[in-house]
Chain A
Amino acid sequence: MQDSYAIELLNITKNFPGVLANDDVTLQVKKGQIHALVGENGAGKTTLMNILYGLIHPDSGQIRVDGRDVSIRSPRDAIGSGLGMVHQHFMLVPSYTTTQNIFLGNEINRLMIVDQKQAEREVQEISEKYNLLVNPKAVVRDLPVGVQQRVEILKVLQRGANTIVLDEPTAVLTPQECDELFVIVRSLVADGKTVIIITHKLSEVKAISDCVTVLRRGKVIGTVLTKDVSKEELASMMVGSNLPSTGERKKLDPGEFILKTKDLVVRDKFNTDVVRGVSLSVHQGEIVTIAGVEGNGQMEFVEAVTGLRKVFAGRAFVCDQDITNLSPDKVRQCGLAHVPGDRIATGTNVKASIADNLIAGRHRQLPFSTRGWINSKEKQKFSQDLVDRYKIKTPSLDVRAKTLSGGNLQKVVAAREMSFDTPLLVVVQPTRGLDIASTGFIHEILLEMRNCNKAILLVSTELDEVFELSDRILVMYEGEIVGEFTPENVTREELGLYMAGVKRQSRAESES
């Protein structure tokens, strides 16, 4: 029955430079249901929802609301079609009251004067109707996060939304607040609303949703009824895929440790611990992988080790030197190179030329710089050499980096960082969004570096990559290492359970 769908996204394709964020994605959400959209970060969930909400325009595809074709060009259109979105990061004015926030841009006017009393009465009404208890007069700044989220939901309801999208709604909530949220979501559905929940927490999917759609690398892997599928099956749908194997692995005895962290704690800007006491070491000739679903503290851990983020407690050492809270240039001097997960904002300067990107970091060293002046002959020679060696496809060395595809951009980052020839390489998601060939190429280089006795710390969410490259696998969940394995003594499914937080080793177990 066509008309029983509240929202239909048909054959949506969206290509960002270098990344196919949505590849022929079709999502159909039945009226009055709770539909979960799961997948790792970067799988395309948020892109898809932003398309639905009119923040991004798809390259192709069709959106239907209640069976009618609609053209959603802006959030205003989306709101007009009865859509509401509660973003992961709340969009509230902290110094305004609950009511002022809910009616922001939509104030009730009486003779040009905002009728605050009336607005407060309406807030009271909706909040009682849906069990969304808030104080209409409270200032948002003073409210706990869970209540701020209710304000967001109220805002959406006040604007007449029939379908509500919740983007990672539990990411910032305590377990108790989560339970309260689920009660609210159920009461919304009982009233005939439709809810889409974006998440990567599988236990929540099981707890609340009627139906699940799994996205991976921009594609729909499948849509299933929640009751027909186990958490384990969902985990393998989220992370599994097959890649051709590449490279050979020399037998090496692990040498001395190059990177060591001791009880490292990192806080995010909301002052919550996102890395909670991680101790690990990486030795010469070894690839140690931190596996895990993204958003479990891996990024913060790496940033802390590489000097991009403050360490709150604990210490980190590179080649026996204490690098805790040193700046990136000092950390690099100790012998670290870093391929960051975010190649566009951090790994490259897309506004600068390929050559400038390749010599960055060396621009004060001989022979690239003599007495403060850049030696452009040496610069061209060095860059050309890297472009040839890493098979970077570019019309010239002088074009801006932003003209390159994602795979080639990644090769630029890899070429620069690996050419530093440091004892330690920290590599985050090196193959995200890359095609099979580029992925194989990057894997080959990483194995080659390992065979040259380098120490490599890899962060990956792709299980295939994890199994292909690792000498040791550490699983990170909610800021902690919950398991340590070698690729031989663990199965893909088992690893998926650790990544999803279903299982964990005790400390003693992981140390044995």
Chain B
Amino acid sequence: MSVKKRLQDVFEQTGSLRRAIVSILLAMVIGALIVYLQGDNPLVAYTALFRSAFGSRASVFQTLANSTPLIVTGIAAAITFRTGVVNLGVEGQLYMGGLAAALVGVYLEGVPSFLHVFLALLAGCVVSFIWAAPFQWLRVQFGANELVTTTLSNYVAILLTTYLVAYPFMKPGAPLAMTKNVLPSAYLPRLVSQGRLNLGFIIGAVLCVFVWYVINRSSLGFEFRMIGANKRFSHYVGIRVKRMQVLAMGLSGAAAGLAGAIEVLGTQHRFIQNISPGYGWVGVLVALMASNNPIAVLPVGILFGALKTGGLGMEAATNVPSELSDVLQAIIILFFAANVVFPSLRKESVLKKKHAEIAHPEEV
């Protein structure tokens, strides 16, 4: 019994990691089945997937490049989730921040490169902060559920930015709605000679560590954690819960805006309509799977980035379509969220057993 109890403790402490690993393995099994039913060899498909994601130096760089926006949006979502707030407007905030950064990148001339980059990134953060925070203010002041308002805010943000780049800021003669290219002084430096990997990844990685540090070691983070764990207690000990939640939403928006800015300054070099294929939404899933731990956002983001990179490579090498990556990603999240693993070691079932012992003592 005591061994079992100790095992339970271990599982409770490493709960998320164990859940993550088991979810991934289960997803791979189901994915293999799908590939097999389609008439392909799962082993070959997975080998191709893995090889394209991690097989060479170039593919690793590609994976990291693909994971960059997922990591930064993952941080954005994690900040609010830690504070008991739900920000589902990450996608729209990414658009707002991306456009702000692009405008600074295009129209601000004659400043040194590092300053130009810095100001463009800052613009992305500030604009999205200002865009995001009021939704939480509406929540704490009037009770408008931020889950709904931020979700709807995506439409407003995406359509608004699309309008702006389709009319006022449109690059003349372009085939799609897009801004002019940002000036080279606003480019995020590339880290490798080939491929898209740029300073944005480093920024994302540093952000993970920084946010972790703030949440765990600062007075601000202390309040965020307390509010996230017990709002009533926080209010009672004198934390200004409403104000802090508005701030958390703003900071989350700022991180989402940073993701947009990095995408513009590091990869696209302009703001273009449909700039994000749903990075904000994947970011929410990344945060979910990282259990809102900023440090864990980094590996989870890389995992999802690798799935994307590997999927494309797999499609090129085999008959299996790259959409399998999305399927795998969805199954992983599903299992992770459903918490189906090791049911016998979960507390509730221990209770049930105990109850059975009481009800039928002679059988046990």
Chain A contacts to B: CB under 8 angstroms: 57-62, 71, 73, 306, 308, 327-329, 332-333, 338, 340, 345-352, 356, 360-361, 363-364, 369, 372-374, 376
Contact = CB atoms under 8 A, between A and B. Distances in A.
Q: Determine which residue in A73, A350, A352 has the highest number of CB atoms from chain B within 10 A of its CB, and name it.
A: A352
A345 B220 contact: no
B3 interface: no
A328 B217 contact: no
A374 B237 CA distance: 17
Q: Determine which residue in A306, A340, A356, A360 has the highest number of CB atoms from chain B within 10 A of its CB, and name it.
A: A360
A329 B244 CA distance: 13
Given A329-B238, A352-B225, A346 B233 contact: yes
A338 B355 CA distance: 39
Given A369-B219, A372-B218, A372-B220, 13 more contacts: A60-B358, A62-B358, A329-B238, A332-B238, A338-B236, A347-B233, A348-B233, A349-B229, A351-B230, A356-B222, A360-B226, A363-B223, A376-B217
Contacts of B238: 328-329, 332-333, 361
A162 to B, nearest CB: 22
Interface size on B, as a range, is 20 to 34
B9 to A, nearest CB: 10
Given A360-B237, A361-B238, A61 B358 contact: yes
Contacts, number: 80
B5 interface: no
A482 B6 CA distance: 54
A352 B219 contact: no
Q: Determine which residue in B223, B233, B354 has the highest number of CB atoms from chain A within 10 A of its CB, and name it.
A: B233
Contacts of A71: 355, 359-360
A333 B354 CA distance: 48
B58 interface: no
A308 B358 contact: no
Interface string B231-249: 0111111111000000000
A413 to B, nearest CB: 10
A375 to B, nearest CB: 10
6 tightest Cβ-Cβ pairs between the two chains A and B: A329-B238, A351-B229, A71-B359, A361-B237, A349-B230, A360-B237
Contacts of B239: 329, 360
Q: Determine which residue in A73, A363, A364 has the highest number of CB atoms from chain B within 10 A of its CB, and name it.
A: A363
Contacts of B358: 57-62
Chain B at the A interface: SS class: helix
A57 B355 contact: yes
Contact of B232 (A59, A62, A345): A345
A340 B236 contact: yes
A383 to B, nearest CB: 14
Nearest to A359: B222
B364 interface: no
A346 B232 contact: yes
B1 interface: no
B351 interface: yes
Contacts of A374: 217-219, 222
17 contacts: A57-B358, A61-B358, A73-B355, A308-B236, A328-B235, A329-B238, A338-B236, A346-B233, A352-B225, A352-B229, A352-B230, A356-B222, A356-B225, A360-B233, A361-B238, A372-B219, A374-B219
A376 B238 CA distance: 21
A351 B233 CA distance: 11
Given A58-B358, A71-B359, A308 B220 contact: no
B176 to A, nearest CB: 45
A71 B356 CA distance: 9
B233 A349 contact: yes
A349 to B, nearest CB: 4
A394 to B, nearest CB: 16
